[in-house]
Amino acid sequence: MNFKKKINVNHAITCANGTDALHIALLAIDIKPDDEVITVAHTWISTSEVISLCNAIPVWVDVKSDTFCIDENKVEQAITPKTRAIIGVSLYGTMPDYKKLNEIAKKHNIILIEDGSQSFGAIKNNNISSSCKYTDIATTSFFPSKPLGCYGDGGCIFTNNNKLGNKIRAIKNHGGLRRFEHKYIGMNSRLDTIQASILLTKLTYYDETIKKRNKIAQYYIDNITNKNLKLPTNYSTIEDFHVWGQFSVLTPSKKYRDSLFNYFKQNNINSAIFYPKSLDQQECFDKYKKRHSLKITKNICDTIINLPIYSEIKKNELDKIINLTNEFQL
């Protein structure tokens, strides 16, 4: 089993980490200074960071409150003559509607990239994350906390375009396909042999790992009765399949969320907050003007909390988390 066969894609090109994967993807499509790239502000910094590293401009649009992914209906209004690409982020284990994003991208002759760092193998509308069924390029991360993680850093870039595939292979290896011949300015971004071996082994039982994560998510959904919380939906059909990178819950307010987080901490529960601050509010992006309303993004950042979810979590640990969640009062 390998990544190409797993998701049925022509090119699966490993690299050092998920951030490099995104950066290489942008270099491969020749992103230029002052080009605009539409993406979201509710995600890890890498997505917008690599846009800035190319001296391009991140243009943030809002997300949907149910999937936390880019709102496809708000993308087109953000397109300008400078728009060169859209980066959709497949967040927490699910995906936006890449078929719809593909229609928009083709209409305006712009590149569509999937940042699939948290959702390798997820399915939406019969589209597998990173398969490039509707995208020009997809990337993922194998950081240990991801659904498919190695023991250190790792990443991968996917495409069905042979020209892009060859260029990506060159860029990740100092811009050359042959020794001592360098066609592009590139970087040193190789996945080391140990991490590759770990990933190939874990890939053989990845489906079983995701089935376990789905059972855990459903156990949360079936047993959390705290009416103040908005739980995620478990997409577990052939057409839609969640890989549960995170189990993300919305609370009524920032005060409620922070209090619940501290309550968990006092009871030795390692909950998390992904992400407490949107990228448009980060100091490093101060020079970029916010052009579009990010109302839902802000609300998510203020109210989200992520419960522990990993394939080997024990039932008694789950029951403790659920009981604490149900008992919590502010």
Which of these, 268, 267, 271, lies nearest to 327 by C-alpha position? 267
Structure tokens at 321: 């988390």
Q: Mark 200-230 as b/e (b = at least 16 C-beta within 10 Å).
A: eebbeebeebbebbbebbebbeeebebeebe
Q: How far is CA 299 from CA 6, 63, 206, 279, 295, in A?
A: 36, 11, 33, 14, 6
The tokens for 324 are: 């604490």
Q: Is the pLDDT of residue 29 over 60?
A: yes
3-class DSSP assignment, residue 137 = strand
Any residues with CB less than 8 A from the CB of 204 and at least 6 apart, and which?
1
| Residue where the block lists tokens 């850093």 | 153
Dist CA 56 CA 77 (whole Å)? 19
175 vs 192, 301, 319, CA distance in Å?
A: 18, 39, 52
Q: What is the DSSP string of 206-257?
A: HHHHHHHHHHHHHHHHHH---TT-BPPP--BSSS-B---S-EEEE-S-HHHH
144-169 tens-digit pLDDT = 999 999 999 999 999 999 999 999 99
Domains defined along the chain, listed by start: 3-202 (3.40.640.10), 207-327 (3.90.1150.10)
Residue 238 confidence (pLDDT):
64
H or E element at residue 315? helix 315-327
How far is CA 46 from each of CA 147, 217, 279, rounded to the nearest angstrom? 18, 27, 10
pLDDT digit string (tens) for 249-267? 999 999 999 999 999 999 9
Mean pLDDT over the full length of the chain: 97
Q: Whole-angstrom Cα distance, residue 47 to residue 36?
A: 13
Handedness of CA 143, 31, 159, 127 (dihedral sign): positive
Look at the alpha carbons of 69, 70, 71, 73 in this order and tell me if their dihedral is positive or negative. Answer: negative
- Element (DSSP H or E) covering residue 29: none
Place of tokens 């995600």: 43
pLDDT band at 233; cut points 50, 70, 90:
confident
CA distance 24 to 111: 14
Mean pLDDT of 200-209: 96
State the Cα–Cα distance between residues 229 and 264, nearest whole angstrom. Answer: 15
Helix axes 206-223, 193-204, angle to 10 degrees: 60
274 confidence band (pLDDT: 50, 70, 90): very high
pLDDT band at 240 (very low <50, low <70, confident <90, very high): confident
Whole-number Å distance between alpha carbons of 141 and 119: 9
Given pLDDT bands bounded at 50, 70 and 90, which one contains residue 184? very high
